[in-house]
Structure 1
Amino acid sequence: MKTINLISPTNDDSIKLAEVSKIIFKSKKSTVLTGAGISCNAGIPDFRSSDGLYNMVKAKHPKSVVRGQDLFDISLFRDEVSLSVFCTFMEALYVSTKEAKPTETHKFIKTLKEKNKLLRCYTQNIDGLERSCDLNMGIQEGHLVVKNENGVQVQQSSITSAGQFTKSWKELDVVQLHGNLHQLSCTHCLTSYAWTQEYQSLLSQGLNPECKSCHEKYLERLYSGKRMTGNIGLLRPSIVLYGENHPQAEYLARGLNHDLKSRPDLLLIMGTSLKVDGVKKLVRSLSTSIHSKGGKIIFVNKTPLSSSSWNGIIDYQVLSDCDEFVKSVKREIPDLFLTQEQLDSKKLLTPAKKAVNKSNTSDSAFTPPTTPTKVKVKSEIKSEQTIGMDLIYQIKKEAETYKRMNLSIPTPELTPASSFDEETFKPALRQVSKSQLNRKIKVKKESKEDVKDEKLLKRVSPTPTNEEIPMKKCKV
């Protein structure tokens, strides 16, 4: 059995935690066993810790209760004082569970269901917080208890068909092994009742309400003159006490066999010290089935187990608060906690990121690194070179035109330079100063073609102005 201490973790603990997270992520049929430890962060105390329910009861009623565990024993119905303390304590616990909110561990169980990984959750808790997470829990009464002709209650599970049983069992997400605090049941006829203000008020005073069903039967037999049989039952929370058989024991046994045949591949034990005999048997049965498939058993609790009695049964022991363990798993495998929409959007983004990374890798491997700025400069140089070549061609053409026109123009009479007619040559000449040409042409000396263009520009002289045209003497 490997131990992982998340209270003061080491590097080795981090490696083992990654292994556990991977096992949970790969599991397809997970079973979960929970105890009171998963509800402590919701404000509901556990049983056996220093500030748990047992010590709390003993501190409040030191004369009436010898041990806190005695308050949850079936023998308390023999003593009126113990029964009164039990009623008062159960009413206070019921009020606290109504105000409590689901913890991270409860939400984690819901996540396993949403990911189609949850086969079944078995809980020892009676607070019913799983119902707040929209988990199907409890067993419908129509599938459990019916009455025969004589009004005697019988187990429905013993007479229903296999198909009906399988359908009803598969509807369950959470199986309450120790009953449900949010229901009341009769100690005589087992009829279930919901909590009302009247019942809650009586229980807070340490009084057990009478069963209305039993009372009606009593009056019916009394008025008809029949012999009185039986007693009028009392209402109590529908929880299983020590020394008491579970009212749906046969149904639960069939359900457990159904889950074992489903071949689960993981058992998560969270928030329980595994002190109850029935729970120990459940863990050993599930362990045999899971290990036969190559699955793992993971135990999560603040207090460690006895390694001698659980070696070979439990594979990983995680010493941690249950909610902190869930948060650690969430950091290791965040995809498990994402909704389907979030996963779909992530899948769409992943190929795009890979394509960008691949293109960047290929470019850096075969070409020198470039930047958008450099590309822009090259394009500007190319455009400037094109403009320069156009100007050179235009200058050449104008120079040839000037030569031809210079030969064909008749020689004017000799006149002073001040009276020279500028309009004569204006249509044929285009004034382009050297400074204007230098500003427009910006040729980079990076290639041989650029050098040739620059030499060509030097050979081409600018168009002469009127003052620079030489005066020729004319023969008279």
Structure 2
Amino acid sequence: MSGRVTKVKRERTSRIKKEPIDEKIVIKLEDENSLDIIKIESSSPSPSPSLSRSPSTEDSFPSTKLSNEAMKYNLNTLNNLLHTLKLSNELPKYEFTRKPKLKFRPPPCTVLNLNNINFNYSLNEQIELEDLYFLHYSLIFAKKTVVITGAGISVNSGIPDFRSSNGLFQGLSTKSTGSGKNLFDYNVFRNNDSIEKFEKMIEKLYHLSTISKPSPFHHMINDISKQNRLLRLYTQNIDCLDTELSNLKTKIPLMSTSDSPKSKSKSKSSLDKKSIPPTIQLHGSIKLMNCSKCNYISDLNYEYFENRKFGENKLIRSCPSCEEMNSIRQIAGKRLQNNGILRPRIVLYNEFHPDGEIIGSITENDLKNKPDCLIITGTTLKIPGVRRLVKEMAKVVHSNKGYVIWINIDEPSQSIIDYVEYFDLIIVGDCQLIPGLVKLFDYLNPFTQKNNKKDITIIKNELKKETVV
């Protein structure tokens, strides 16, 4: 496609094939250690034109949102196929001086529905492979990718999201506190009853984040970073599953006290770009505690919860650093000050973000750094600041002829589409399918002939040597 109109209302363009053909990949066992795909052929006689070519009822899922069991089934089926094909666990990597030319860009707001896919049947009869090509190209060849994630990418790991029917807000809803969202408001510290409920909620989240492992999508982002193609990961999650991975580390705090701007004379241009970590935690970390007044930060560990059970200590308590400072002031004969509150280092509604200024500097730097791909996944963009970040980043990405992809179990609302403006591909379904789909497409598409190209180059060089002799 050549020209693109950007000043019109974005309408979703559905490109879903709803009648998958009854074909399966036929595998031939050559020896004990190798499995080779011979061809794709029909597993049953060709149906007459009057008969349906859809798979049987028990093998197919409705086009609406899938249940957790159905999503797990789809993911397991895809993983089994990848295992059979002996594909690498890592994202494919290509050594190109210049990335290849993009051969296809979908119409704006094209919808790719993964809920209609059954991996027991031929893929090209269920979805437009051109859309899959665009997804593959974006994730494999983009050189400066920005990923913005929400709680949806950790559901596969066992951590609930916030706003779904089975989410955390719904589970925490009580008559006394109202919506579970109220426990994430700064006003939660105003009375002992809400503080106790907040502590129990933090204990549950901390336990889940400790026993959970990063999901396939986490690992895919880590692979992109490992290949030096990740400009930044902005995560709204506090579970720290992403920062557990080797190439997605962060810094706490993002800027040391000595480097932070203490006066207006120290401008944002003084930001040390080399010191910016790959991952920016927009809403803090469940693994840390910090003082509401001073810069004191400490690890949050199980001792807090164990002591709380026996009444020996409370999770939300007076800051030890402030207490020590007051002791010094008392000895010096100075007036005592109020101690700060030591609490989990997560950003609540209606409170000041401790890293807000430096995060603003980092996003400004990233916008100037010409990002060429934006992936938004696992979030509904309900938070105004994150929604604004997506809009600004999407605009810059498109100005650089880049790619903007939405991945979620739900389509974005029309208001989000109108606000952001620049969605290329809207993928509806489980984000955990994306890494496997990209690997599967990579196995089948022409770009995978890279190894053959290397062999041809070697042969040509050998022929040149023989000619010279």
- Are the counterparts in 1 of residues 214 and 242 from structure 2 also a CA contact under 8 Å? yes
Give the CA deviation at 1:309: 3.5
- Are the counterparts in 1 of residues 286 and 300 from structure 2 also a CA contact under 8 Å? no
Q: 2:133 matched to which residue of 1?
A: 18
Instruction: Work out which of the residue numbers 112, 117, 121 in structure 2 matches 1:4.
Output: 112
Report the aligned-residue RMSD. 3.0
Bigger mean CA offset, 26-35 vs 15-24: 15-24
- Are the counterparts in 2 of residues 36 and 47 from structure 1 also a CA contact under 8 Å? yes
Q: How does 1:30-41 map to 2 (within 5 A)?
A: 30-41=145-156
Partners in 1 of 2:325 and 2:282 — Cα distance?
Answer: 31
Partner amino acid for 1:285?
A: E
Give the CA deviation at 1:210: 2.5
Partners in 1 of 2:401 and 2:325 — Cα distance?
Answer: 56
Give the CA deviation at 1:347: 5.5
Q: Which runs of 5+ in 1 are unaligned?
A: 148-152, 356-476
1:187 is the counterpart of 2:292: yes
- Are the counterparts in 2 of residues 29 and 118 from structure 1 also a CA contact under 8 Å? yes
Q: 1:320 matched to which residue of 2?
A: 429
Residue by residue over 1:200-239, the C-alpha shift from the partner in whole angstroms, topping out at 9 and shown as x without a partner, is 334567642331111111222233332222x122221101
Give the TM-score, by structure 1 length.
0.65
Check 1:156–1:178 CA distance in 2 against 1; reply closer, same or farther (3 A cut).
Answer: farther
Q: 1:57 matched to which residue of 2?
A: 172
Q: Secondary structure at the match of 2:243?
A: helix
Give the TM-score, by structure 2 length.
0.66
Partners in 1 of 2:315 and 2:219 — Cα distance?
Answer: 36
Q: 2:317 matched to which residue of 1?
A: 209
- Are the counterparts in 1 of residues 315 and 343 from structure 2 also a CA contact under 8 Å? no
Partners in 1 of 2:403 and 2:424 — Cα distance?
Answer: 6
- Are the counterparts in 2 of residues 208 and 236 from structure 1 also a CA contact under 8 Å? yes
Partners in 1 of 2:153 and 2:416 — Cα distance?
Answer: 23
Q: How does 1:387-398 map to 2 (within 5 A)?
A: none
Bigger mean CA offset, 265-274 vs 10-19: 10-19
Partners in 2 of 1:157 and 1:92 — Cα distance?
Answer: 42
- Are the counterparts in 1 of residues 372 and 401 from structure 2 also a CA contact under 8 Å? yes
Residue by residue over 1:230-259, the C-alpha shift from the partner in whole angstroms, topping out at 9 and shown as x without a partner, is x12222110100111211111111111111
Partner amino acid for 1:22?
A: Y
Instruction: Work out which of the residue numbers 67, 83, 94 in structure 1 matches 2:179.
Output: 67
Residue by residue over 1:13-50, the C-alpha shift from the partner in whole angstroms, topping out at 9 and shown as x without a partner, is 44322222123222111110011111111111110111
1:115 is the counterpart of 2:200: no
Q: Secondary structure at the match of 1:130?
A: coil
Q: 2:346 matched to which residue of 1?
A: 239
- Are the counterparts in 2 of residues 302 and 321 from structure 1 also a CA contact under 8 Å? yes
Q: 1:177 matched to which residue of 2?
A: 282
Q: How does 1:39-438 map to 2 (within 5 A)?
A: 39-58=154-173, 62-141=174-253, 143-146=255-258, 159=266, 162=269, 165-169=272-276, 172-202=277-307, 207-229=315-337, 231-311=338-418, 312-334=421-443, 346=451, 350-351=455-456
Which of the pair has more CA radius of gyration? Answer: 1
State the identity %.
33
Partners in 2 of 1:167 and 1:283 — Cα distance?
Answer: 23
Residue by residue over 1:356-395, the C-alpha shift from the partner in whole angstroms, topping out at 9 and shown as x without a partner, is xxxxxxxxxxxxxxxxxxxxxxxxxxxxxxxxxxxxxxxx
Q: Secondary structure at the match of 1:330?
A: helix
Give the CA deviation at 1:350: 4.4
Check 1:249–1:5 CA distance in 2 against 1; reply closer, same or farther (3 A cut).
Answer: same
More helix by share: 1
Partner amino acid for 1:305?
A: P
Check 1:310–1:155 CA distance in 2 against 1; reply closer, same or farther (3 A cut).
Answer: farther
Q: 2:13 matched to which residue of 1?
A: none
Partners in 1 of 2:254 and 2:244 — Cα distance?
Answer: 23
Q: Which runs of 5+ in 2 are unaligned?
A: 1-108, 118-124, 461-469
Q: 1:28 matched to which residue of 2?
A: 143
Give the CA deviation at 1:274: 1.0
Q: Secondary structure at the match of 1:300?
A: strand
Q: Secondary structure at the match of 1:7?
A: helix
- Are the counterparts in 1 of residues 222 and 245 from structure 2 also a CA contact under 8 Å? yes
Q: 2:65 matched to which residue of 1?
A: none
Check 1:164–1:291 CA distance in 2 against 1; reply closer, same or farther (3 A cut).
Answer: closer
Partner amino acid for 1:195?
A: L
